[in-house]
Structure 1
Amino acid sequence: MTGKPYSPASDRNREPILAILRTWFADRLHVLEIGSGTGQHAVHFAAALPHLIWQSSDRAENLPGIRQWLDEAGLSNTPPPLQLDVTGAWPADRYDAIFSANTLHIMAWPEVERMFAALPSVTSADACVAIYGPFNIDDRFTSESNAAFDRDLKMRNAHMGIRDTAAVDALAADKGFDLIDDVAMPANNRLRLWKRRQA
């Protein structure tokens, strides 16, 4: 099959992310990936973690490309991708894990808020949320390359930008999710894990 969308960054970061998810998602069953992009992560992680049902999702314009990747791989644990805009309707199913990569800096901040606000309605009582991407710490860039990336983002669209860990943690905590791990990743990225607070 030709013409599939392709992200070189997804190929570069998939193994470091997978190394962490093997532990974090070892006892998980049903993952919702928010913003699956090309679909490369969905195929790679679902193949490597066959105990999981990996539910991809994205905005409507990205679904055809994701379907190409899923159809070519032919995995039994990757259902068709869901149409999901964080400001719109969310799935009726419940998931015990959420994964998202390189999305928070693309969304406008109100969209980030909306995403976290929706998490309690789509997650089980013991759910965890894993998010990968660049983050600022104490409102400071962690590298010159991240500062340059942030400038590029804002030139593309003023609403984009690298998010601060404290601000994101506050959103998560307000919706009942506490940060339990934060792993430094290659290329000045981080993989951060929140767990749903027990009632």
Structure 2
Amino acid sequence: MPDFIVEYGKLGKPPAPDGRLDGPAFHRNHDAIWSAIGGFLSQQTGDVLELGSGTGQHITAFAGRTPHLTWWPSDIVPPHLASIAAWRQHTGLANLRAPQRIDLADPHWTWTADGQAGGTLTAIVCINVLHISPWSASQNLIAGAGRTLRDGGRLFVYGPFMRDGAHTAPSNAAFDATLKAENPDWGVRDVRDLNERAELAGLTPADMTAMPANNLVLAFTRAVRQN
């Protein structure tokens, strides 16, 4: 992997001397994403896990807005894990914890809190991951959310999505074709398919919020468990 962040089809900036990476997408979308998830998170307490934290910029920005929440970043790419740690050190946010390695290829993924098994989560955030990972990662994300979210907790997923078998814009169709040419296991996921997996995991169908550049934020809520 190069020593700079690659946004699909675009080169990012070289890393800062301390290892912090700067992804171009963050500057374009973090305010819009927060507008979709902040209403819920601003009223909550507890733990929030981000899966696929990338550079660490999104979770750092969100943690800075919610000192009442504890944020747990994760990734599998070593330069990303180093960048997350560097952003944490740079900001000194007390509610942003050290990054951990979580791989959505593992159907039984778990999270830890300061070296101990993590409890139930208030929310899970996943930004720009599902279209650049196999379908099994989407399945494992949703199944894991069903296991780890508290009743009423939410899974927030951001990215491009299809709806009922159709792309939402010609640019998304072209992007999907490019992704599949790069890796046949990648591709823009369909909200309908994600909702089917959500039902199996005890989550409600997604509430959808339109984002710039033909993206969506999907919000799945953990249904109350029946004893």
Q: Do they fold alike, i.e. is TM over 0.5?
A: yes
Code of the residue aligned with 1:148 in structure 2: it is A
For residues 50 and 11 of structure 1, the distance between their equivalents in structure 2, rounded to whole angstroms, comes to: 22
1:143 paired with 2:169, answer yes
Per-residue deviation, residues 137-176 of structure 1 (Å, max 9, x unmatched): 1111111111111122112211100000100011111100
The aligned residue for residue 44 of structure 2 is 28
- SS state at 2:71 partner: strand
- SS state at 1:31 partner: strand
- SS state at 1:191 partner: strand
For residue 60 of structure 1, report the CA deviation from its aligned partner: 4.6
The aligned residue for residue 16 of structure 1 is 32
1:46 paired with 2:63, answer yes
For residue 54 of structure 1, report the CA deviation from its aligned partner: 1.2
For residues 152 and 74 of structure 2, the distance between their equivalents in structure 1, rounded to whole angstroms, comes to: 21
Code of the residue aligned with 2:38 in structure 1: it is R
Higher relative contact order (CA 8 A, sep 6+): 1
The aligned residue for residue 67 of structure 1 is 85
TM-score (norm 1): 0.94
1:84 paired with 2:110, answer no
1:97 paired with 2:123, answer yes
Per-residue deviation, residues 1-28 of structure 1 (Å, max 9, x unmatched): 5342221111110001112222021232
Structure 2: runs of 5 or more not aligned: 1-15, 112-116
Code of the residue aligned with 2:34 in structure 1: it is L
1:168 aligned to which of 178, 186, 194:
194
| Equivalent pair of 1:60/1:84 in contact (CA under 8 Å) | no
Structure number with bigger Rg: 2
Per-residue deviation, residues 18-50 of structure 1 (Å, max 9, x unmatched): 122220212322111111011010111111222
Q: Which shows bigger deviation, 148-157 or 189-198?
A: 148-157
The aligned residue for residue 131 of structure 1 is 157
- SS state at 2:26 partner: helix
For residue 111 of structure 1, report the CA deviation from its aligned partner: 1.8
Moved segments of 4+, more than 4 Å: none
1:4 paired with 2:20, answer yes
- SS state at 1:168 partner: helix
RMSD (Å) for aligned C-alpha atoms: 1.4
Indicate the percent of aligned positions where both proteins have the same amino acid. Answer: 35
